[in-house]
Amino acid sequence: MRRAGLGLLMLLAGCGRAEPAGPQADGFPAPDRPVASVVSSRWSNEDERDSKREFDAVMKASGLARGMTVADIGAGEGYYTVRLAARVGPEGRVLAEDIVPAYHDALGQRVLRDKLDNVSVKLGQPSDPGLPDASFDRIYMVHMYHEMDAPYAVLWHLRAALKPDGMIAVVDAERRTESHGTPPKLLDCEFRAVGYEPVRHVDMPQADGYLALYRIAGPRPEPRAIKACKA
């Protein structure tokens, strides 16, 4: 399953609550909003998602191309992971990350069973996915952003993992975080707080929400200089 380069760095792998998160490590601010609980390793039935052509719509809007290196953060059962593997092809690489050990282990078994040689699975930490530096063309966060206890820390660490022209793609529902969504203005504010700028926002009915793309803009702030956004 391991491949040369990036694959050698990757090992086989948001947990939250519907209330404000507690104090953060390393000086990062806690989100000034509720954090939704993780209730399942899946967003919806895979056949239903395919019938809506969700994956194809997200890939077109995010500009994914064959041969790219991508990360699937909060991968769960791997709906995006297995389809990303096919889309980037053998020349590309996919890192699937989750912080829930049971999800990590189940996805690892799926990757082995399906012989996805360009995929590695990693167990991350709530505040740091642990991705290698300057490695990713796209990082996907699908219907999970609202479940992260430490969004500012995660976004801070993901900055280092992006290639210079890389982007983060967030898919979420346009509703309050405690209702398993993220208002777009709040999402923009939290990304801007860590030194990103929005590239595009696309309504995505195929994914029951929207897609927002972000790229790095300016220097990465010191953790203690980051100000939490109010919902």
Q: In this predicted structure, what is the pLDDT of residue 43?
A: 55
Question: Tokens in use for 85?
Answer: 């593997």
* Ranges of each domain in the chain: 6-225
**pLDDT by residue (tens digit) across 132-164?**
999 999 999 999 999 999 999 999 999 999 999
* For residue 128, pLDDT beyond 50: yes
Q: Tokens in use for 146?
A: 């609202």
Q: In the prediction, which pLDDT does 42 show? A: 52
Share of the chain above pLDDT 70, in %: 87
Mean of per-residue pLDDT scores for the chain: 89
Which CATH entry fits the domain spanning 6-225: 3.30.950.10, 3.40.50.150, 3.30.1120.130, 3.40.640.10? 3.40.50.150
Band (45; pLDDT cuts 50, 70, 90): confident
Which of 19-28, 105-114, 170-179, 206-215 has the weakest average pLDDT? 19-28
More confident residue, 166 or 44: 166
Query: Quick one: which of 38, 26, 84 has its CA closest to 58?
Result: 84
Res 203: pLDDT = 97
Measure CA of the first residue to CA of the last residue in the chain; give whole Å.
42
Going by DSSP bridges, is the β-strand pair 34-35/19-20 parallel, antiparallel, or unpaired?
antiparallel
* CB burial string 118-138: b at 16+ within 10 A, e below: bbbbbbbebbbbbbbeebbbb
Q: Which amino acid is at 184?
A: P
> Of 216, 182, 155, which Cα lies nearest the Cα of 35?
182
Largest CA distance in the chain: 45
CA distance 141 to 35: 15
